[in-house]
Amino acid sequence: MSFDLSVIPNKNIIVAVSGGIAAYKSAILVRRLKDAGFDVRVVMTEGAQAFITPLTFQALSGNPVHTALLDPEAEAGMGHIELARWADLVLVAPATCDTLAKFAAGLADDLLSTLYLATKAPVWVAPAMNQQMWAAKATQRNLNTLIEDGVHVIMPDAGAQACGDVGLGRMPEPEDLARQVTEYFHRAQRAIAEKFGLLAGKHVVITAGPTRESIDPVRYISNHSTGKMGFALAAACYAAGAKVSLIAGPVSLDTPNGVRRINVQSAMQMLEQSMDQLEKGCDIFIATAAVADYRVAHVAEHKIKKAGDELNVALVKNPDIVATIAQQEKRPFMVGFAAETRNVEEYAAGKLVAKKLDMIACNDVSRPDIGFASDENAMIVFFAEQYRLPQRDLEKASKQEIAQQLVEAIHDALHHEPDETDPDELK
């Protein structure tokens, strides 16, 4: 599962397909861009339609396919202007020799060439052609012109071609193209977030997932935590402009985009890494991990053989990571979590004071709809008394949405002026 909160779902991509055998790859490209969260519309030249049908792209993109310069169904019949305004990026894949020549010469005799002149969006071209056509002086001259005009040229791959030749001219694989587009928007969004995000300039350390406390080389003690909430928070903090270090117990989750992940197993390892991050400089510490309260006193060197009906294992108490961090001289803004099965609010309020936290979020894991392994959550957030902020009830929503609301709560606490609080708020 990926937790990648970004601007991508709000971005519009035009995939322009010109007439080459590589057009079959464009169908996969559209699918990959859709999977990444982009809204995709397809423009096809007349030549492209000889290799693959518009119906294929309509089914994959979920949008009508554009083939005509003057579309009678478009506003005022000016379909190219509408598309030009709609696009956040125009990706021509494959881009044939003819298409490159038209762009370089400024021709506008079909929908694609006219769209190229009409759009303010970045234009990327992925040339695909016979290796000799690629090497031709005219082609290279046209490419240089496009580069000077600000077009981003994606270099073709080398290999066997449909004509039987071997050399440069193969369109890159759809997965690689989709990755490049995704990274482009991530970089753009990151630059904005680092300047204007709610947590811009902050270093956030997050613990997530369970810990495993070994009994012997084969067996261990653990819990049902999946780490989903912590990983969602890591993604949300990064999207808010923070530098994020994620100390993760053993979980099967993809690392959120841009987040530095540190894998640990035991509670002692998690504490060690937490202290190390604190020493390096930490502004906000978010403890979502379900840390084992106890560990085995003496871990067996070899697998314990089955003998008898009972096995007695001595346990010793693990250190309280969040309380330990909160007591340090270089204390960051502390956010704790309370996963309880009863008296949720009472226990959470007690932990807030006892562990000297700035903020705590509590949830009832006995509820099957928001418990461990659920993709949704609901929480109550309490703030330390000095912030003079009322509790916040976060209604049931996806863990990604909950994470964004928690980021807002952290921001509000960090920037809250107590003297601005209306006393009636606290009643």
- Same structural domain for residues 258 and 369? yes
pLDDT for 119 equals: 95
- Same structural domain for residues 149 and 259? no
- Same structural domain for residues 324 and 224? yes
Q: Which two tokens stand for residue 39?
A: 């809204």
> Which residues make Cβ contacts (< 8 Å) with residue 409, sequence separation at least 6?
359, 381, 383, 392
pLDDT for 207 equals: 97
Q: Strand pairing partners for 213?
A: 221
The answer on pLDDT for 79 being more than 70 is: no
The reported pTM is 0.76
> What CA–CA distance (Å, rounded) separates 287 from 162?
55
Scored b (16 or more CB within 10 A) or e, 205-221 reads bbbbbbbbbebeeebbb
> What's 377's domain CATH number?
3.40.50.10300
Residue pLDDT, tens place only, 360-399:
998 877 777 766 768 888 898 999 999 999 999 999 899 9
> What CA–CA distance (Å, rounded) separates 69 from 309?
80
The answer on pLDDT for 421 being more than 90 is: no
Q: Which of 48, 398, 28 is nearest to 176 (CA)?
A: 28
> What CA–CA distance (Å, rounded) separates 347 from 337?
11
| Selected residue with higher pLDDT from 16 and 370 | 16
Beta strands, E only, 84-242: 89-95, 123-127, 152-153, 157-160, 166-170, 203-208, 213-214, 220-221
Residue with tokens 């947590």: 199
Q: Which amino acid is at 74?
A: A
Which of 137, 157, 184 is a domain's end point?
Answer: 184
> What CA–CA distance (Å, rounded) separates 83 from 180?
22
- Same structural domain for residues 137 and 222? no
Q: Which amino acid is at 203?
A: H
Q: Which two tokens stand for residue 374?
A: 């659920």
Which of 161, 184, 207 is a domain's end point?
Answer: 184
Q: Do the Cβ atoms of 268 and 295 come closer than 8 Å? A: yes
Catalytic choice (163, 237, 282, 362): 163
pLDDT for 248 equals: 97
Neighbours of 183 (CB within 10 A): 11
Beta strands, E only, 50-140: 89-95, 123-127
Q: Which domain holds residue 23?
A: 8-184
- One-character DSSP codes across 233-266: HHHHHHHTT-EEEEEE-S---PPPTT-EEEE--S
Residue pLDDT, tens place only, 280-334:
999 999 999 999 999 999 999 999 988 888 888 999 999 999 999 999 988 999 9
> What's 148's domain CATH number?
3.40.50.1950
Question: With bands split at pLDDT 50, 70 and 90, how would you rate the model's confidence at 73?
Answer: low
The answer on pLDDT for 266 being more than 70 is: yes
Instruction: Point out the least confidently predicted range of 168-172, 225-229, 230-234, 399-403.
Output: 168-172
> Which residues make Cβ contacts (< 8 Å) with residue 150, sequence separation at least 6?
122, 123
pLDDT for 77 equals: 47
pLDDT for 8 equals: 61
- Same structural domain for residues 272 and 305? yes
- Same structural domain for residues 217 and 259? yes
pLDDT for 147 equals: 97
Instruction: Classify residue 31: in a domain, yes or no.
Output: yes
Which of 133, 159, 184 is a domain's end point?
Answer: 184
Q: Do the Cβ atoms of 382 and 354 come closer than 8 Å? A: no
Instruction: Classify residue 112: in a domain, yes or no.
Output: yes
Residue pLDDT, tens place only, 242-252:
999 999 999 99
> What CA–CA distance (Å, rounded) separates 285 from 274?
9
Instruction: Tell me what the mean pLDDT of segment 55-59 comes to.
Output: 97
Instruction: Classify residue 331: in a domain, yes or no.
Output: yes
Q: Do the Cβ atoms of 238 and 258 come closer than 8 Å? A: yes
Instruction: Tell me what the mean pLDDT of segment 268-287 comes to.
Output: 96
Residue with tokens 């490049």: 180
Instruction: Classify residue 238: in a domain, yes or no.
Output: yes
How many domains does the chain divide into? 2
- Same structural domain for residues 307 and 350? yes
Q: Do the Cβ atoms of 36 and 11 come closer than 8 Å? A: no
The answer on pLDDT for 1 being more than 50 is: no
Residue pLDDT, tens place only, 170-219:
899 999 999 999 999 988 888 888 889 999 999 999 999 999 999 999 99
Q: Which H or E element spans position 243?
A: strand 243-248
- Same structural domain for residues 24 and 132? yes
Q: Do the Cβ atoms of 348 and 360 come closer than 8 Å? A: yes
Question: With bands split at pLDDT 50, 70 and 90, how would you rate the model's confidence at 418?
Answer: low
Q: Which of 57, 54, 153 is nearest to 103 (CA)?
A: 153
Total length of the chain? 427
Q: Strands 315-317, 294-296: parallel, antiparallel or unpaired by DSSP?
A: antiparallel
- Active-site annotation holds for 362: no
- Same structural domain for residues 225 and 312? yes
Q: Which two tokens stand for residue 231?
A: 């990983």
Q: Do the Cβ atoms of 5 and 148 come closer than 8 Å? A: no
- Same structural domain for residues 252 and 326? yes
Q: Do the Cβ atoms of 334 and 325 come closer than 8 Å? A: yes
pLDDT for 9 equals: 63
Q: Which two tokens stand for residue 48?
A: 């492209």
Question: How buried is residue 229: exposed, middle or buried, by Cβ count under 10 Å (0-12/13-18/19+)?
Answer: buried
Average pLDDT of the residues of the chain = 89
- Same structural domain for residues 242 and 332? yes
Q: Which two tokens stand for residue 375?
A: 């993709």
- Same structural domain for residues 124 and 179? yes
